[in-house]
Structure 1
């Protein structure tokens, strides 16, 4: 415990840095930082282990502000703790190019562990961080060498706990017994529309106890000593995550806006700022006032953190001597580097007319990679046998077997993706998750955050088209390819056969600038005879000439472009057109994103502007295909929902037949003259 006067001084500094920054920006959320400052202060100055001089130190504690709209609370903490955020940075809150964007953004500001703002995402990612810590500790710690030994802390609000994703993640965390996860629940009882009693009357603590959490209560959120005591009690429970409900007051100290929705998402206004400062004994001028003594508790915490880091580095030096192989692997993983020879065991698949589903091929490739890449860890949303993503010979990750690499997420797609984000944020993992492609809708907000943060998360989406068949339109993706292709930083890969699938996995593991979606078939597709065609490595460029026209590059009259299972349809249609005297090129275009990264000369070589007669074929929405079909071309696609019927019937009804592709190509040729 520290001197009460210093506590109050530091807490009010945090409050008014937020108030002044929001006022200067003329937008933002002052109320949450004003109410939650005492709990954040208690955590940061008394328990949280951090070193501003080494913000990515592997064994630091992780802090997640899940209520990301209160970002100025986090920026104030980072400023006072010495993370390199200057007062000028705080004054440029919410401005172009600043280190203090409206919501915390991973990679933009030192000390920000994950991007938050969409409510529920932060607490859910924190579950992934806690899983990461537990797994790494089980794999690398040895007697006398606790090289992985840290905590994950969260501040979450009412809105976080209303969101379904947090319920999914909290249920999983309780089931797994993640005892090093502690959530401070900012119970201020206000949302944008008014009091939480409008919509949220549940017993939150009872719900979390039912999930398997320890629950604690601090009735006076302005008492940092009580918060500290609760935090220490939470840390004493090794087998359950902890939720600490802290009763706070939004806009604390504001005479006209405390405990009001008016304090949530708008500046207090000049008059109310003046009155609030008077009430809390704070000087009206200057703005962004930071008394030097207010920094002292944070300086001491940073000094303790530096000493802890130095002790850890000394421990690591001894660990390298005693356990050199483990140390080398751990440090390589935390550096985000793949092991030497990581892809040497990736299988190649012999030509096979009967073929194999790309989901099946993907499972074989995944297991070959997992044997050499220990950081590959993940699972499915209760669909492992269908998505073929179980790691053979590996235990499940559980409270009893934390070294296991198979993650059983249950039917929790949204939390699965958020947990994967947290594992990637933590470092040391190349996490993957899987579900049916149609259920990518259930996890899209978390996938979007992975793209925003440029996290190397891998999503395996199987059952990729209407050819799911009898399960019907609820399980048949139509608009999903177009939707995911619209997302920045996400690479979508829809391979045509088993060997393209192997290349797709290579690309996914090599990528570090964002997530990758592997879109795979349920049904068998032929394994192509690459002796007569281009090698599958062409996938790495996004699109390539799979088979050239009989007349050679100069004699091409028609180009058929396709992805995934429809590549085989395009090859059959090309045979028919060639037999009719139409020199036809077939292009496999498994990734629009990778293709667009190629130089213009290569793209024109594959899809020459001199050949306007093109037909694109894909069992999905036609949206966007005009860029490759061109103004004179056509698209064989599906612009309605599917139906429940065998796959062959659906192909016939929706026009995915050789006859329809050929007749479409002939119409294009007629128009082209």
Structure 2
């Protein structure tokens, strides 16, 4: 090496080259991958991981680190290469060889097609475009709220920036634009978005589908923008831009960096570079005519990035000293902050003992709102927000402090009519420091279809996010079938790592909150009705509801078991009594959560389901989920209808008389295969 090659500028050039070559090795090793954007972003990676981000590879979970989210998750090879080069122990070269591997016979790797949250240095599972941006906004919100709550003069114990990379695709997704609008309105100056602007999408040139002024659009949402016109080579310009973004104190920043997808390869600058493999000639061009073994990085690059690790280790040591001094001056706050950083479980038994069913409220959403506010006052971890239906969801209270740019200490945020971003941002709040926050969202059940992709991402990331849905059936009434979610439950009930809970009464609503709060690695959706039930169920019990399902009404020599939940349960209980009195002994099971019930022992489940040959579910939904237990179902075959709630129960044969009539008719039929009565 010459003396000049030891200069930072020359080492930046060498590092950029070596990253590009290693990305190509990963795509070549198993015949393909998404390397084009990663090759183009190599200089961005040097600017971030070498010069500007604060992190400690030896302590990946250090609380005060900067956090990086790869929203353009198809560029995962870039993140894997950087985690390897900077010294994250999980990301060995052998592990990098697993990228794109067919994985027969139980082969394991940490390098999947998209980054996954369970591995060191990966803050969030990404892949569906735009979700990473929403999560990054949530992380920025979480950091701001904790800083406002715990930081004191001379004691910035909550620190660190949120970095997020994006391509053109993320910036077209609605969830990203919704989330960016939220970030701009909240003036989240701890959020820096790195825009890899390579003018290419999967199908072709960007101008086939996008011609707007992206900077102007982002500025209109309250963001700063900084341009870097040579992202292929000019690392120092990118470093300057990032440092400038860090200096802004009145809003988030997008750095618009022009790069070439598949830089210096045969397909450079074209859609063909988006995915696939690379040729021998591409490797030679990247290495400026040199040859080198596959999966080899020159030693000076490892040492160059090791300095960033040492810098991070010193930053962590300084922070730990600061936290120790903070503990001496502010012991109460320090103890609480440490507990939240460590994700210590809540003492739910103590908390919930003080929660009671309100005596003056009968509508399910009102009862749920009262119970929520009793809990909210006791758990500082809760951070809630609604999609412009906070009042209709009945979760509001006069003593709520709103989180906004004038007061980041608040724990209720106004997301606006942005259901998708509300859920995506909440995922980021939960992921920021698992256990430090339990985010809560709220809207009508119908509108969780807007949020569903982000709700799924929360479940996929094993994040504790609680979604509160009201107006959850055709009982909703005159707003009609557009607002009556007859099929929406099926999606969430089928979703892995998701607890769908549909309580029928105040007792069961308390149980629903206990289940949701007591599941640190699951998302939950609590679904309640808009209005008071015509026939409120009797005999419900929070302790029994914690098992997911339980016997509500038992009879001897039962010929029929009716299973129900939510606003249908009272009708079901009344119909069962009428059936029993007419000579058809009928028992009733309340099942607010199918997934919780299925986790119980076989003996318990068999005891609850009973021995009657006819087991029939009753619910105002298309009953796709009930066939696992039932011989038949009373439910919906169509969309709802614009009419009053009681009228709809009559119209669709799900009031007391309708249930009675259908069961009476069913008694004259063979049990046969499952059907909708």
Alignment match, 2:376: 370
Matched, 1:619 2:620: yes
User: How much does 1:383 deviate?
Assistant: 0.5
| Residues 290-338 of structure 1: CA deviation (Å, up to 9, x unaligned) | 1111112221011010111111111111111211111111111122224
Matched, 1:394 2:400: yes
| Residues 223-279 of structure 1: CA deviation (Å, up to 9, x unaligned) | 11000001111111111100110000000010x2100111102112xxx24334335
User: How much does 1:339 deviate?
Assistant: 4.2
Alignment match, 1:243: 254
Determine the C-alpha separation between the residues in 2 that align with 1:2 and 1:117: 37
1:185-264 map, 5 Å: 185-221=195-231, 222-254=233-265, 256-264=266-274
User: How much does 1:615 deviate?
Assistant: 1.8
User: How much does 1:624 deviate?
Assistant: 2.4
Do the aligned partners of 2:21 and 2:283 also contact (CA within 8 Å) in 1? no
Do the aligned partners of 1:93 and 1:100 also contact (CA within 8 Å) in 2? yes
Determine the C-alpha separation between the residues in 1 that align with 2:366 and 2:638: 28
Greater shift, 77-86 or 662-671, is seen at 662-671
1:277-316 map, 5 Å: 277-281=284-288, 283-316=290-323
Alignment match, 1:406: 412
SS at match of 1:158: coil
The partner residue of 1:333 within 326, 340, 351 is 340
Determine the C-alpha separation between the residues in 2 that align with 1:414 and 1:638: 27
Greater shift, 339-348 or 375-384, is seen at 339-348
Matched, 1:426 2:424: no
1:651-662 map, 5 Å: 651-662=649-660
Determine the C-alpha separation between the residues in 1 that align with 2:38 and 2:153: 42
Matched, 1:114 2:124: yes
SS at match of 1:71: helix
Determine the C-alpha separation between the residues in 2 that align with 1:21 and 1:365: 52
**TM-score (structure 2 length as normaliser):** 0.94
| Residues 531-554 of structure 1: CA deviation (Å, up to 9, x unaligned) | xx35232221111101111x2xxx
SS at match of 1:671: coil
Greater shift, 464-473 or 638-647, is seen at 638-647
Determine the C-alpha separation between the residues in 2 that align with 1:383 and 1:194: 40
Alignment match, 2:521: 513
Determine the C-alpha separation between the residues in 2 that align with 1:441 and 1:514: 19
1:30-109 map, 5 Å: 30-84=35-89, 85-95=91-101, 96=103, 97-107=108-118, 109=119
User: How much does 1:481 deviate?
Assistant: 0.7
Distance change in 2, residues 1:339/1:324 (3 Å)? farther
Alignment match, 2:490: 482
Alignment match, 2:596: 594
Do the aligned partners of 1:370 and 1:391 also contact (CA within 8 Å) in 2? no
SS at match of 1:123: helix
Do the aligned partners of 1:494 and 1:518 also contact (CA within 8 Å) in 2? yes
The partner residue of 1:19 within 20, 24, 27 is 24
Do the aligned partners of 1:51 and 1:57 also contact (CA within 8 Å) in 2? yes
Determine the C-alpha separation between the residues in 2 that align with 1:291 and 1:547: 73
Do the aligned partners of 1:614 and 1:629 also contact (CA within 8 Å) in 2? yes
Root-mean-square deviation over aligned CA pairs: 1.6
| Residues 540-570 of structure 1: CA deviation (Å, up to 9, x unaligned) | 1111101111x2xxx2221011010111011
User: How much does 1:385 deviate?
Assistant: 0.4
SS at match of 2:352: coil
The partner residue of 1:453 within 437, 461, 465 is 461
Determine the C-alpha separation between the residues in 1 that align with 2:552 and 2:150: 46
User: How much does 1:645 deviate?
Assistant: 1.2
Alignment match, 1:585: 587
Do the aligned partners of 2:500 and 2:527 also contact (CA within 8 Å) in 1? yes
Do the aligned partners of 1:367 and 1:392 also contact (CA within 8 Å) in 2? no
Alignment match, 1:159: 169
Determine the C-alpha separation between the residues in 1 that align with 2:7 and 2:82: 17
Determine the C-alpha separation between the residues in 2 that align with 1:125 and 1:385: 25
Determine the C-alpha separation between the residues in 1 that align with 2:7 and 2:415: 43
User: How much does 1:592 deviate?
Assistant: 0.9
Determine the C-alpha separation between the residues in 1 that align with 2:148 and 2:509: 32
SS at match of 1:356: coil
Determine the C-alpha separation between the residues in 1 that align with 2:357 and 2:228: 60
Do the aligned partners of 1:498 and 1:527 also contact (CA within 8 Å) in 2? no
Determine the C-alpha separation between the residues in 2 that align with 1:283 and 1:243: 37
Determine the C-alpha separation between the residues in 2 that align with 1:26 and 1:389: 53
Alignment match, 1:645: 643
Do the aligned partners of 1:332 and 1:339 also contact (CA within 8 Å) in 2? no
Determine the C-alpha separation between the residues in 2 that align with 1:325 and 1:594: 37
Do the aligned partners of 2:537 and 2:570 also contact (CA within 8 Å) in 1? no
SS at match of 2:169: helix
**TM-score (structure 1 length as normaliser):** 0.95
Distance change in 2, residues 1:526/1:648 (3 Å)? closer
User: How much does 1:584 deviate?
Assistant: 1.5
User: How much does 1:529 deviate?
Assistant: 7.4
Distance change in 2, residues 1:273/1:129 (3 Å)? farther
Do the aligned partners of 2:473 and 2:485 also contact (CA within 8 Å) in 1? yes
| Residues 506-530 of structure 1: CA deviation (Å, up to 9, x unaligned) | 1111101210000111011379676
Q: Which blocks of at least 5 consecutive residues in structure 1 are unaligned?
A: none
Determine the C-alpha separation between the residues in 2 that align with 1:593 and 1:70: 35
Determine the C-alpha separation between the residues in 2 that align with 1:411 and 1:576: 45
